[in-house]
Chain A
Amino acid sequence: MATATLPVTERENYLNKEYGIRSWLFTIDHKRIALLYLLSVTFFFFIGGLFALLIRLELLTPAGDLVQADTYNKLFTMHGMVMVFFFLIPVVPATLGNFLVPIMIGAKDLAFPRINLMSWYLYVIGGILIMHCMLTGGVDTGWTFYTPYSTAFTNTKIIEAGLAVFVAGFSSIFTGLNFIVTVHRMRAPGMTWGRLPLFIWANYATSIIMILGTPVVAITIILVAAERLFHLGIFDPKLGGDPLLFQHLFWFYSHPAVYIMILPSMGIISEIITCFSRKRIFGYKFVALSSVAIAVLGFLVWAHHMFVAGMSVYAALIFSFLSYMVAVPSAIKVFNWTATMYKGSISYTTPMLYAFGFLGLFTIGGLTGLFLASLGIDVHVTDTYFVVAHFHYIMVGGVLMGYLGGMHFWWPKISGRMYPEGWGRLAALIVFIGFNLTFFPQFILGYVGMPRRYWQYSPEFQVLNVLSTAGSTILGVGYLLPMIYFLWSMRYGKQAPDNPWNAAGLEWKTSSPPTTFNFDETPVVDFEAYDYENIKDTDDDGGAH
């Protein structure tokens, strides 16, 4: 390729092909839509982070001195809603997924480019609704909308928040639909199912959950609105309804939603670990199919959120057992990643540091999930900080570590520039330390009995709360750093070669950044996904060693 030696600025690519706001707002290029999503989810990450900061500041002292109790209820509610529905659900599929799914399978774009753009617009409409809801009073039910409080008692903006989640839900259904059709229909010649990168398998499994789960939460929100507006007796016992029915329907989506968040990050980890261990993945089929197994089994465990809510003890036994089952495919992944590194030639680049962080934090988050799945311990720690710590280990420790690892890994491909490696490693370290300092004390707090969702607490809990608040500011710095140096690198970063990591995968065989249609000619695939033993270390002009 003669063009590969031209400087980035002189080669035509998806970034410099067209300029101007219209070329972005009406684009149907999956890579540009990925960047639109990247901007919008980052915006909501900082909104949600702001709420988190205020929560942690309030909890610095045992007294409720910074905000009123009602305000505090709204703070943790809006933190949860923004982070779950507007950040964690779309964060990996809509950004890295959108960018990489077509390229990794050798396609020009997703199967339905216009639906892809429409999905972003729906996300934005949902985002505007939730912003308006927040600015005009917010919601205080917790992100879970629990009935009968949400339908019969609270006078906050339930319907508007519900509508926001409803609309944003359709954006994720569209993303899932697009991915499934694309993976079935648009694979390049020779890209068999057994040769698909594991990031694709992970996004495929995620898409199944998006399509099958999201409509259920959408219907549930409509039922909440119907009961609130027209007093139809669905959830309110006074009207003949059953409040646990709401929890059944809500968690039927919202437990699998955790796998919408974590599966794509697991896919990223598979890519990073193979690349920086220079090894073939250990047990490709098991890692690939465990994603699908997690997607399916994830639908069978939802009532572990309801063990002390008054559900049948017999059903609780079944759900407890099924919750243990879903740990099996997750453990398969962790063991196989570890086995992949065994005797590998490991380089400690920024993405790999995030992958290490993911392994440790996800394992802690997953194992404490098993504590919660066992009935006896769950009775003790339900609605305490133990639960808060557990799901933050999964959703922040797991999902965000994977996301940041992926952002660093593919940043050269996305932007055509290298990020500063030294700063990258420093930020990864800060994130890891800040995260553990924030959330590990919460395990202890919960175990000794501090309940969640209170703005005051007994003085004996203060030391651990101060540690947690201190950790959260460190974590905040760790998240700001990549923001700053990514932006810096777009102008001042070293120009990225096409394959800075000497990695396998079709995305590294096209230019950095790719052209609008990704490949000059449709690639033909005659190799397996992670054939690192047969990729020679070339003297490439950039990247890590």
Chain B
Amino acid sequence: MSEHSTSVGFYVMIFIILLLLTATTVGAAFINLGPLNPVIALGIATTKALLVVLFFMHVKGASEKMIQVVIMMGIFFLLLLLGLALADYGTRLWS
């Protein structure tokens, strides 16, 4: 575990960044950006999830192979869910 990730101040900083990003999501909801709306919302959400996983869940700095395997598994199955569901949405007859 790297030394800076153990200090309380560091976690508070991550927490504040998360709050700011939440505020950005709320703010962006009031501006209509057309097709960019979902892109921005999902982008911010992914960034926040990444911060939580990397720092609050101590994945950054973890030395064990096993943790990496577990994380990769989670992402892989998420991609399966999205990918195979999109196989339906991408080829459905919408008329």
Contact = CB atoms under 8 A, between A and B. Distances in A.
Contacts of B85: 245, 248, 252
Interface stretch (A24-32, A224-232, A270-278, A309-317): A309-317
Interface in B40-78: 66, 73-74, 77
Interface string A225-259: 00000000000000000001100110010000000
Contacts of A299: 77, 80
B84 A303 contact: yes
The 3 closest A-B pairs by CB, nearest first: A315-B88, A312-B92, A314-B91
B73 A212 contact: yes
Interface string B14-58: 000000000000000000000000000000000000000000000
B84 A300 contact: yes
A287 B60 CA distance: 37
B13 interface: no
B37 to A, nearest CB: 13
Contact of A318 (B66, B87, B92, B93): B87
Interface in A290-341: 299-300, 302-303, 310-315, 318-319
Contacts of B12: none
A68 B30 CA distance: 49
Contacts of B87: 312, 314-315, 318
Nearest to A208: B73
Contacts of B91: 312-315
A252 B92 contact: no
Contacts, number: 43
B88 A312 contact: yes
B81 interface: yes
Interface residues of A, number: 21
A491 interface: no
Nearest to B81: A252
Contact of B92 (A184, A216, A249, A311): A311
27 contacts: A184-B66, A208-B73, A212-B73, A212-B77, A244-B88, A249-B81, A252-B81, A252-B85, A299-B80, A300-B80, A302-B84, A303-B84, A303-B88, A310-B92, A311-B92, A312-B88, A312-B89, A312-B90, A312-B91, A312-B93, A313-B91, A313-B93, A314-B91, A315-B84, A315-B87, A315-B88, A315-B91
A311 B81 contact: no
A184 B85 CA distance: 33
Contacts of B81: 216, 248-249, 252
Nearest to B89: A312
Contacts of A248: 81, 85, 88
Contacts of B74: 212
Given A303-B84, A313-B93, 20 more contacts: A212-B74, A212-B77, A216-B81, A248-B81, A248-B85, A248-B88, A249-B81, A252-B85, A300-B80, A300-B84, A303-B88, A312-B87, A312-B88, A312-B89, A312-B91, A313-B91, A314-B87, A315-B84, A315-B91, A318-B84
